[in-house]
Amino acid sequence: MPETPKKGSVVPTGKEISLGDDDFIVSKTDTKGKITYANRIFIRMSGYSERELLGSPHNVIRHPSMPKCVFRLLWKTIMDRREIFAYVVNLSKDGSHYWVAAHVTPEITAGKHVGYISVRRKPNPETVRSVVEPLYAKLLQAERSGGMESGERLLNQILSEKGVSYDAFIQSTL
């Protein structure tokens, strides 16, 4: 088995790559978040081989500038068997990054919860620059000084000022 780099071992280069307008990244995981399926575009964008991806935890492509509280919300939602939309910046094997608008849902087969499915597409670059990057930068800063709970509190505060849930907020920008 090829060795898959551990989360945090890839150094971001700052180079951004982007999905094509008609590209979809698809992956499936087991209930713990280990990758069980990756489509060709996922393989291409991540820079890993299919063998490296299958069986690896999905955080193999985690970018350090993603706030922890966003993933906490993601997991809370999908473990509750609900879907979520989220903006995510991912880190490729060569250190480049790419933004996606992700939809994550539980996979239920014959009434049994077998894992999760995510489909991502190219987000509007202007929304990423003007809305998502500034929001995530604030959350990250809060987390760096006061831990994930500070990020979570700030996110809830920003959303309650807007009077929307994270999901409704994200969907309004798609």
**Which CB, 128 or 161, lies closer to ligand FMN?**
128
Rule CB under 6 A: say whether 10 interacts with ligand FMN: no
Q: x/- string (CB under 6 A) for ligand FMN, residues 120-159? A: ----------------------------------------
Residue 167: strand pairing partners: none
What's the min distance (Å) between Cβ of 52 and ligand FMN?
15
Question: Three-state SS across the chain?
Answer: CCCCCCCCCCCCCCCECCCCCCCCEEEEECCCCEEEEECHHHHHHHCCCHHHHCCCEHHHHECCCCCHHHHHHHHHHHHCCCCEEEEEEEECCCCCEEEEEEEEEEEEECCEEEEEEEEEECCCHHHHHHHHHHHHHHHHHHHHHHHHHHHHHHHHHHHHHHCCCHHHHHHHHC
Which of 67, 77, 118, 143 binds ligand FMN (CB under 6 A)? It is 118
Interacting positions 75-104 with ligand FMN (CB under 6 A): 75, 88, 90, 104
**Which CB, 84 or 154, lies closer to ligand FMN?**
84
Rule CB under 6 A: say whether 170 interacts with ligand FMN: no
Cβ distance 27 to 38 under 8 Å? Answer: yes
Rule CB under 6 A: say whether 7 interacts with ligand FMN: yes
Piece of 55-63, 122-130, 140-148, 159-167 that binds ligand FMN (CB under 6 A): 55-63
Binding stretches for ligand FMN (CB under 6 A)? 7, 27, 29, 33, 58-59, 61-62, 66, 71, 75, 88, 90, 104, 116, 118
